[in-house]
Amino acid sequence: MLASYGWSDRVAALVSTADPGLVPARVVRVDRDRCLTVTPAGELTATAVELPAVGDWVGLRGAEVVEVLPRWSRLARHGAGEAVTEQVLAANVDLVVIVTGLDRTVRPSRVERELVVAWDSGARPLVVLNKADACTDPEGPEAVREALADRVRADVVVTSAEDGRGIDALRARIGGSDTVVLIGASGVGKSTLANRLLGGATLEIRAVRGRDGKGRHTTTARHLLALPGGGCLIDTPGTRSLGLLDATEGVAQAFSDVDALAAGCRFGDCAHDAEPDCAVRAAVAAGELDGDRLESWRKLGREAAWAERRLDARARAEEHRRARAMSRAIRRQRNRP
Ligand SMILES: Nc1nc2c(ncn2[C@@H]2O[C@H](COP(=O)(O)OP(=O)(O)OP(=O)(O)O)[C@@H](O)[C@H]2O)c(=O)[nH]1
Ligand SMILES: [Mg+2]
Ligand SMILES: [Zn+2]
């Protein structure tokens, strides 16, 4: 049963460190106060004190999640609201598939942001240009693919969930025990692609109304499903934009080309602004590095650094709160007759 849900040697090793009295299971869906899990004996709805995320490996006692096993990757974003909070979209993912549609102008900066989130998750990324049958670029899908791959320095595949092209290429990139998560704006065809891979109409899809399809989120919950050819997949609701967490590591990985160039700058802390002998600006001037890409690197780097400071501040405040509660408890103990 678990074999179809991403069970691997790595998971086996992880489970062996857990309490042997617990039943290993994987979380395939999270609802308000309970989650649906897959156990060696089949599906089971379980309660949990602290709800795990979709994709988590857990230990069950009866119908209760009593242990969430350490994650090797987690796809997370900045939660809603002002405070910097982490919202985990999917845990223990191996491949993050960033989906965009060729039926409208592809925005490389959006893909760059999603690549930062993907790299930062600890999984490997893949970019999919879907809706090749409805490509609006006069140069055609392959030209768009080449230009995007060149700009974002990632593996890019062209697909059409409509006529089936590129689905084999996508399938070929998914390993037998891989957990794949699909991300991207609403209406780009994530669920349609998922249905293609699933070999049936399991997930609901709906036509996008209007040009940008705002406010039309067809998929409303994240759900982990087993793929017939091996591996499993999490479809997610479309996101307008992903807010970065302390993703400085992700920025470094997504922009390793900029980092490599920066090694040639005269100053180690060069901001590639007005410093003399800046190898990064020289590369832009020589046409070797896209100026817009450098701009993306700046913007995303700043956002990640800002979130890092905010998260640090929050962690410090939390520590302070705990210390105060502790000293209050100690005082109460002392004051006891
Ligand atoms: N022409 C064309 N239409 C497609 C393709 N893939 C999906 N669509 C259509 O695009 C619309 C949206 O598809 P969905 O799969 O629901 O999109 P989604 O990304 O899952 O959207 P959310 O669940 O809202 O995030 C539907 O009308 C699909 O039939 C494709 O390759 N070509
Ligand atoms: Mg969907
Ligand atoms: Zn520089």
161 Cβ closer than 6 Å to some ligand 1 atom: yes
Of 206, 217, 225, 239, the residue with max ligand 1 atoms within 8 A of its CB, to mutate for a pocket test, comes to: 206
Of 159, 163, 167, 191, the residue with max ligand 1 atoms within 8 A of its CB, to mutate for a pocket test, comes to: 191
CA-nearest of 67, 155, 124, 113 to 296 is 113
Beta strands in the chain (DSSP E): 23-30, 34-39, 42-48, 57-61, 64-68, 74-78, 86-91, 95-101, 124-130, 156-158, 179-183, 223-226, 232-235
Say what the pLDDT of residue 246 is. Answer: 87
Distance 282 CA to ligand 3 centre (A): 8
Say what the pLDDT of residue 211 is. Answer: 45
Say what the pLDDT of residue 222 is. Answer: 82
Residues in the chain: 337
> pLDDT digit of tens for each residue in the chain (337 aa)?
899 999 999 999 999 988 999 999 999 999 888 999 999 999 999 999 888 999 999 999 999 999 999 999 999 988 766 677 788 999 999 999 999 999 999 999 999 999 999 999 999 999 999 999 999 999 999 999 999 999 999 999 999 999 999 999 999 999 999 999 999 999 999 999 999 999 876 777 666 655 444 445 667 778 899 999 899 999 998 887 788 888 999 999 999 999 999 999 999 999 999 999 999 999 999 999 999 999 999 999 999 999 888 887 777 777 777 777 666 666 666 666 5
234 Cβ closer than 6 Å to some ligand 1 atom: no
CATH 3.30.365.10 given to domain 2-68: no
217 Cβ closer than 6 Å to some ligand 1 atom: yes
Say what the pLDDT of residue 201 is. Answer: 64
- Sign of torsion, CA 27 30 31 32? positive
Beta bridge partners of 225: 233
Distance 187 CA to ligand 1 centre (A): 5
Q: Coil, strand or helix: which one is 92?
A: coil
Say what the pLDDT of residue 234 is. Answer: 95
Q: Which residues, 6 or more positions from 324, have their beta carbon under 8 angstroms from its beta carbon?
A: none
Q: Near ion ligand 3, which residues have CB within 5 Å?
A: 265, 270, 272, 278, 280
Nearest CA, atom 11, ligand 1: 207
- Tell me the pTM: 0.90
Distance 291 CA to ligand 3 centre (A): 13
Nearest CA, atom 32, ligand 1: 131
Say what the pLDDT of residue 299 is. Answer: 96
* Number of other CB atoms surrounding residue 336 within 10 Å: 6
Domain parsing of the chain, residue ranges: 2-68, 74-235
- Please give the CATH topology (third level) of the domain spanning 74-235: Rossmann fold (3.40.50)
Compute φ and ψ for 209, nearest 5 degrees. -95, 135
Here the tokens at position 71 are: 């994650």
Per the CB < 8 A criterion, the answer to whether 218 and 190 are in contact is no
Does this chain's domain 2-68 share its CATH topology with 74-235? no
Of 100, 198, 218, the residue with max ligand 1 atoms within 8 A of its CB, to mutate for a pocket test, comes to: 218
Beta-carbon-side half-sphere exposure of residue 193 (alpha carbons within 13 Å): 35
Distance 191 CA to ligand 1 centre (A): 7
Q: Near ion ligand 2, which residues have CB within 5 Å?
A: 190-191, 218-219
CA–chain centroid gap for 249, Å, is 14
